[in-house]
Structure 1
Amino acid sequence: MNILDDLQWRGLIQDSTDIDALRAHIDEGHRTFYVGFDPTGQSLHVGHLTQALTARRLQRAGLRPLLLVGGATGLIGDPRETSERQLNPRETVEGWVADIQEQVRPYVDLTGDNAATLVNNADWTGELTALDFLRDIGKHFSVNRMLAREVVKARLESGISFTEFSYQIIQSNDYYELHKRHNCTIQFGGSDQWGNIASGVDYVRRRGAGPVHAFVTPLVTKADGTKFGKSEGEAVWLDSSLTSPYAFYQFWFNTADEDIAKYLRYFSFRDHDEILELEKATVDRPAARAAQRALAEELTALVHGANECAQVIAASQALFGRGELGTLSEATLEAALREAGAVEVDRNDVSGIAALFKESGLVKSVSEARRTVTEGGAYVNNVRVEDADGPLTDEQLLFGRIAVLRRGRKNISGVIMR
């Protein structure tokens, strides 16, 4: 199947330049494309996976990737509809560029005939003088067209600086420079970038180069209208120091049935038949969560590695008594318990087990905790509690500081000593 047909089947092309011309252009072979990531923080989040994985698909289909991390555009920031962006120090942005370059490397192959190349628009934008920018680049842009962009129109009343207003010009020039330097003829990005991307296609043409092509992927949304990429109000990052592999796995595992078919098509590298089978399983046996589990395992292994994924799966089982807690790493166990709502307790203020069950939120009162123990439904580290008012001993602490609390079969919390 042509790569464009696959992307369309997956719902990954929202807008494009002439799609037939783009298909013919790709079919001729040896094409180079680029996708950009602006360094607005030390890490990308799950929303960026759409672009990273689409780049991976295109490379697998024989195209050569240029992954641009915007050291120049990151100093400015794409205009927001609400207010002016805060300008970050150059040293900070340069550090973020290095972080994000390391993050995007694993999604493409940096060797072989169509090896990926990492590029930074600061390399050519930083050389420009103000007069060069105005005379050689700015003269090709119509202010009327730039004002027509939706995000710019939304800011006209509240005000927009020339700095943010110029972002579109700088991004458009990226396409021209990559076309000139690397014979890049295809750009893609998120649909919120369509105005900038189309402007770049037009600018390359105005400079007498091309023809060049472009398409955009849809912004990922949730069926309930809430923002994709958030878990408990926090962004789900690709950096494991910001979002643990366990929390990352749980984000995908907890995908709503209404969303999982779309996310499988966007993010999974399974073939069409496998995806259709998982979609059918969601309809026929929703409680099994086969599609969610498959996607969570695939993406956790891809982003964090097979070993981390195995640890996460082991933790998911061990917390509920279906595996050995002792086989887990300290980091994985702590991350899993924090996701479950574990409480931190000062070593000098350790109460009896019943009080800890109440403090952890597993029960509403100490008397309810005692009743749970009497009924045989209270566990510490998967061992049934016999004495509700007994202390939590040093011997019960995993890694000398962690204990898993469980009520019944499904209610988990924990204690982390400080």
Structure 2
Amino acid sequence: MKSILVELKERDLFNQATNENKIIEAQKEKAGVYCGFDPTADSLHIGHIIPLMNLKRFQDFGFQPILILGGATGMIGDPSFKSSERVLLSTEQVETNVLAIEKQVKKIIPSIEVINNNDWLGKMSLIDFLREIGKDFNLAYLLSKENIASRVEKGLSVTEFSYTMLQAYDFYKLYTMKNCKIQIGGSDQWGNITSGTDYIASRIKRENSKAAGVTLKLLTKKDGGKFGKSESGTLWLDADKTSEYEFYQFFVNQDDDDLETFFKHLTTLNLEEIKNIMEEHNKEPFKRLAQKRLGKEVVSWVHGNSGYEKAIKITEAFFSGDIESLEPNELKSIIRSIPNSESKLGLNIIEFLVEAKIASSNREARELIRDNSITIKNRNNFSENDVIEENFISQEGIIIVKKGKKKYFSVKCI
């Protein structure tokens, strides 16, 4: 089997490593590899797909994947390249978030081992921390770390200053308990990762340390835009927060220039498959074949085949106009992704369209009616005097209005 490092480099994922030979040896040994997430919310978001996918990638090359959830470090917050101090979460909120994320991750990678670092850090007293961890870190060494130094002048509390030491201890615990030799993370985690490898070396004979770290490139678009940025806000991996339909549409709407990189970073498709997909796509780019395939790969991985099928069903209903055929939970997915407004019942359709902000004026509303450009419950032949009554209400107590061929609005009846 080829080296995982070759795979990462071929996919343009590799950023830097503390020791490439140790990574190759760890692969031969089928050692553990880990990545850590702090539970700052009750769901992971689209930015977490890359580290999750790379844990899966390492697993495919023989490693044992481990995810640490920061039940303890999440109470502090990682200062790495943040402009200000994090808002501290309550113990109860962190515990709720840990349970939710563990369930989510297990669904995406069933064989992964999920560990809460509160299992050991939560039992450690201040004196234990100073004696067990603090004595092995030189102050000058910590201040030389870019992720710490970048915050010192702006303001860095002792609380956040301790974060890199706690993360280093996490690596040491996994190294000794789980035969975990490798830590991976984004390029912004280099300081924390090297703190871990150095700390392990300080606890055992340096020449015997097999710990190594790898940082992976952060995914950005060719135009410099941040991957995962969406007009609708954060794209969550929880379908109750971001529906499978919204998730799928995010990928279907990506630019052609970014597709090859997205395939390499976000899927396990081999490079030959990706090349073939792009060649087929480039023959008729207007069909967006590559975007649809990318959406299928990522949505199926995160939400399963059923999630992908649901996204396709909603997509087809959206563009055919047959929204009324959708199940209640499917309709909710559409409501979240289109403009929402309110209007009273009993208004004529001109008044209704203006009050619901579907038309900017009575004049525009009349033009829409005249051109049969307003569709409600598969009807588009309205007269100006038609009154909007309860019979136009769909499921969930709302009226779905189609304006033109593609624009939809959800109107709550009050």
Question: Normalising by the residue count of structure 2, what TM-score does the alignment of the two structures yield?
Answer: 0.91
Task: Quote how far apart the aligned CAs of 1:168 are.
Answer: 0.6
Q: Does 1:120 align with 2:116?
A: yes
> For 1:354 and 1:373, how far apart are their aligned partners in 2?
8
Q: Which runs of 5+ in 2 are unaligned?
A: none
Partner of 2:42: 42
Task: Report the counterpart of residue 172 of structure 2 in structure 1.
Answer: 176
Amino acid at match of 1:95: T
The equivalences for 1:135-146 within 5 A come to: 135-146=131-142
Unaligned runs of 5+ in 1: 111-115
CA distance in 2, matches of 1:414, 1:388: 21
Is the alpha carbon distance of 1:395 and 1:63 closer, same or farther for their aligned partners in structure 2, counting shifts above 3 Å? Answer: same
Contact in 1 for aligned 2:345/2:388 (Cα 8 Å): no
What's 2:333 paired with? Answer: 335
Q: Give, as a single letter, the amino acid of the residue that structure 1 aligns with 2:145.
A: R
1:236 aligns with 2:223: no
- Given that residues 81 and 152 in structure 1 are in contact (C-alpha distance below 8 angstroms), is that contact kept between their aligned partners in structure 2? no
In 1: Cα distance, 2:224 partner to 2:97 partner: 31
Question: What corresponds to 2:65 in structure 1?
Answer: 65
Taking the aligned partners of 1:253 and 1:260, their CA distance within structure 2 comes to 10
From 377, 387, 397, give the equivalent of 1:401: 397
SS class of match (2:133): helix
Is the CA contact 2:22–2:211 (under 8 Å) kept in the aligned structure 1? no
Instruction: Say if 2:386 is the partner of 1:387.
Output: no
- The answer (yes or no) to whether the contact 1:172–1:201 under 8 Å persists in 2 is yes
Measured against aligned partners, the alpha-carbon deviations of 1:272-297 in whole angstroms (never above 9, x if no partner) come to 22212333345443322222211222
Residue 145 of structure 2 is matched in structure 1 by 149
What CA deviation, in whole Å up to 9, does each residue of 1:72-124 have, x standing for no partner? 111111115322222222222111111111111122233xxxxx321111111
* Corresponding residue for residue 108 of structure 1: 109
The answer to whether the 8 Å contact 2:398/2:411 transfers is yes
Q: For 2:114 and 2:31, how far apart are their aligned partners in 1?
A: 16
Structure 1 counterpart of 2:96: 95
Offset, 1:153: 1.8
Looking at structure 2, the residues matched to 123 and 183 of structure 1 have their Cα atoms a distance apart, in angstroms, of: 18
| Pairing 1:7–2:3 present | no
Structure 2 partner of 1:253? 252
- Which 10-residue stretch deviates more, 164-173 or 152-161? 152-161
1:376 is aligned, of 364, 372, 387, to 372
Distance 2:265 2:285 in 1: 20
Deviation at 1:304, TM superposition (A): 2.5
Does structure 2 retain, via aligned residues, the 8 Å contact 1:362–1:412?
no
Q: How far does the alpha carbon of each residue in 1:147-190 deviate from its partner, in whole angstroms, 9 at most, with x for none?
A: 12223222222321111111111100111111111111111111
Distance in 2 (CA, whole Å) between partners of 1:20 and 1:63 is 15
Q: Are the aligned partners of 1:319 and 1:382 in contact in 2 as well (CA < 8 Å)?
A: no
Is the 1:254–1:292 contact (alpha carbons within 8 Å) kept by the matching residues of 2?
yes
CA contact (8 A) 1:46 1:236 kept: yes
SS of corresponding position for 2:67:
strand
> Structure 1 98/231 Cα, relative in aligned 2: closer, same or farther at 3 Å?
same
Q: For 2:114, give the aligned amino acid.
A: L
TM-score by length of structure 1 reads 0.90
Is 200-209 or 301-310 further displaced after alignment? Answer: 301-310
Cα distance between partner residues in 2 of 1:358 and 1:257: 38
Alignment partner of 1:351 is 2:347: yes
For residues 290-305 of structure 1, the aligned pairs below 5 Å read: 290-305=289-304
Do 1:341 and 1:360's aligned partners in 2 also have CA atoms closer than 8 Å?
A: no
Separation (CA, whole Å) in 2 of partners of 1:101 and 1:59: 18
State the shift of 1:129 in Å: 2.6
The amino acid of 2:413's aligned partner reads M
Query: Superposition RMSD on alpha carbons, in Å?
Result: 2.3
How many equivalent residue pairs? 409
Once the two structures are TM-superposed, the CA of residue 128 in structure 1 deviates from its matched residue by 2.2
Distance 1:63 1:22 in 2: 10
Greater shift, 251-260 or 95-104, is seen at 251-260
Q: Secondary structure at the match of 2:395?
A: coil
Alpha carbons of structure 1 residues 24 and 184: separation in structure 2 relative to 1, 3 Å: closer
C-alpha distance in structure 2 between counterparts of 1:235 and 1:188, whole Å: 24
Deviation at 1:130, TM superposition (A): 2.2
- 1:194 equivalent to 2:203? Answer no
Deviation digits for residues 234-274 of structure 1, max 9, x if unmatched?
11111222222222222222222232221111112323222
Distance 2:403 2:359 in 1: 8
What aligned pairs does 1:300-319 form with structure 2 within 5 A after superposition?
A: 300-319=299-318
User: What residue is the counterpart of 1:113 in the other structure?
Assistant: none
CA distance in 2 between counterparts of 1:263 and 1:384 reads 41
